[in-house]
Chains A and B, each alone.
Chain A
Amino acid sequence: MSRYLTHDPIDVGNLVAQVSDPGRGGTVLFLGSVRRSEEDGAVASIEYSAYEEMVVAEFERIVAEAKARWPDAVCRVAHRLGDVPVGEPSIAVVAAAPHRREAFEACRFLIEEAKRRLPVWKHERFEDGTKRWRGG
């Protein structure tokens, strides 16, 4: 679909490989996965949909902002769309930098901004077949 969006399981190894370099001693990976919790009930899977053109534009802005703040960091991001089963990642963010501090900070920035800004929505599907839009 694009370098940021996929309907297939996110290839985490490939994302990490893209930022690996002998000069980058710290790599931080964040995976956000579909979870099941008591308050949410028996969620079987979540169907993710998006304003795809804007997700691409917003991801590019977020990565550029991270680059401006941590110039030595290299970042990659990916969001999965479509039906994602419980336990599988829906988003992956990776940042690599010469030292761990920039890598942690850049990774944290990327995921927080992605959560706040990406136009993506969740349609929860429960084990009894019912569905519900999940907001916020």
Chain B
Amino acid sequence: MRPNDDCSTRPPGAITVRCRFFAAFAELLGRETLDLELPESATVADAVHQLRAQLDQGERLPTNPMAAVNREHVAAERQLVHGDELALLPPLAGG
């Protein structure tokens, strides 16, 4: 489900993205999800910057973690749009 699909509930010029945290990041932050409000045209890097400033223990997140938007790997410069699902991924260790 996308956060705040009704755009009348958010301030003009703002977007909301659903942040998801996994594994060591979820343990560090004590949470798995967060709806984060950002200015329009914010990037993944902007979101990470805000999370690091806003969340308890957030400053312990890496400044440039691996990230995915809507289940695809993305670079930090990727621009976000309202309703995106942004996942911060600790170093992968599958297999």
Contacts and interface: CB of A to CB of B under 8 A. Distances in A.
A23 B68 CA distance: 39
Interface string B53-95: 0000000000000001001110000000000000101111111
Interface in B37-51: none
A122 B93 contact: yes
Interface residues of A, number: 28
B20 interface: yes
A115 B90 contact: no
B90 A117 contact: no
Contacts of B23: 49, 121, 123, 133
Contact of B94 (A57, A119, A123): A119
A76 interface: no
A119 B91 contact: no
A96 to B, nearest CB: 20
Nearest to A124: B93
B71 A120 contact: no
B14 interface: no
A38 interface: no
Contacts of B7: none
Interface in A106-132: 111, 114-123
A77 to B, nearest CB: 11
Interface of B: 20, 22-24, 27, 68, 71-73, 87, 89-95
Closest 7 CB pairs of A and B: A120-B94, A135-B91, A121-B23, A118-B94, A54-B71, A133-B24, A122-B93
